[in-house]
Homo-oligomer: A and B are copies of this chain.
């Protein structure tokens, strides 16, 4: 029996680590890999935080181009939706190249942690392809419209340091520490208030579509649902007792 395309490691701190495991193809995404990623993200919805990384040497080389022109096209919207709309927060541990739709995958995650020698390459135009898998949505929101447009038009590599400087990556660490650092951040989220983290991600996803009035209303309605929860009562109590809160809801 062959190795699974995505290895799921469930840690006892509530973090699930998904390793895209097709190193011979630099984790290129074909139909089977896309399905495996969607399935793995869905299977990990019982975790409190998901880390996505690639089996070295690459994070994800993007769409497997041998698929192009055949009937079996990867359903990119479904692929990206699984990550972007995961109920559980996601962290991309970018251990190497994040190319094309592999870069889109990292951007669909909530937080990106990159190794020093990792890079992001929106290669689409170089191949005569339209940037997809949500990259035209997520990249502009992360790094601004100017840098996003020139990076996509020129299909230019963004190294880890630049990614940090531009706000694309949350942190850059030595290559050997990428997954460990991602797990450490994931652990912090895993001990956080689940419902609130979900509300933050949801409020965030639509923030550029709303007027201030609409966003204030959305915040208030989210807050009203939260005030009654055990996590909120516990969070405020811990604050007054000057101790760390013990969030427990799922």
Chain A positions within 8 Å of B, measured between CB atoms, are 65, 68-69, 76-77, 80-81, 84, 89, 110-112, 124-138, 140-150, 152-154, 166-168, 170, 185, 188-189, 192-193, 196-197, 199-201, 203-213, 215-220, 222-223, 226-227, 229, 231-236, 239-240, 245, 247
Contacts and interface: CB of A to CB of B under 8 A. Distances in A.
Contacts of A168: 146
Contact of A219 (B136, B193, B208): B136
Given A65-B236, A245-B126, A144 B144 contact: yes
Contacts of A128: 193, 196, 226, 229, 231-236, 245, 247
Contacts of A236: 65, 68, 127-129
Contacts of A150: 110-111, 170
Contacts of A124: 196
Given A65-B239, A126-B239, A129-B232, 12 more contacts: A77-B217, A81-B213, A125-B196, A128-B226, A130-B219, A130-B222, A136-B203, A137-B212, A143-B144, A145-B204, A149-B201, A153-B197
B188 A154 contact: yes
A226 B215 CA distance: 30
A32 to B, nearest CB: 20
Contacts of A210: 137
Contact of A207 (B76, B136, B197): B136
B141 A167 contact: no
A240 B67 CA distance: 13
B110 A200 contact: no
29 contacts: A76-B216, A80-B216, A81-B212, A110-B153, A111-B146, A112-B146, A126-B245, A127-B245, A128-B193, A128-B245, A129-B235, A130-B196, A130-B199, A130-B223, A130-B226, A131-B219, A134-B212, A134-B216, A136-B204, A137-B207, A137-B212, A141-B145, A141-B146, A141-B207, A145-B208, A147-B170, A149-B200, A153-B192, A154-B188
A171 to B, nearest CB: 9
Contact of A200 (B65, B111, B152, B211): B152
Listed residue (A145, A226, A247) with the most chain B CB atoms within 10 angstroms of its CB: A145
A203 B148 CA distance: 11
Nearest to A77: B216
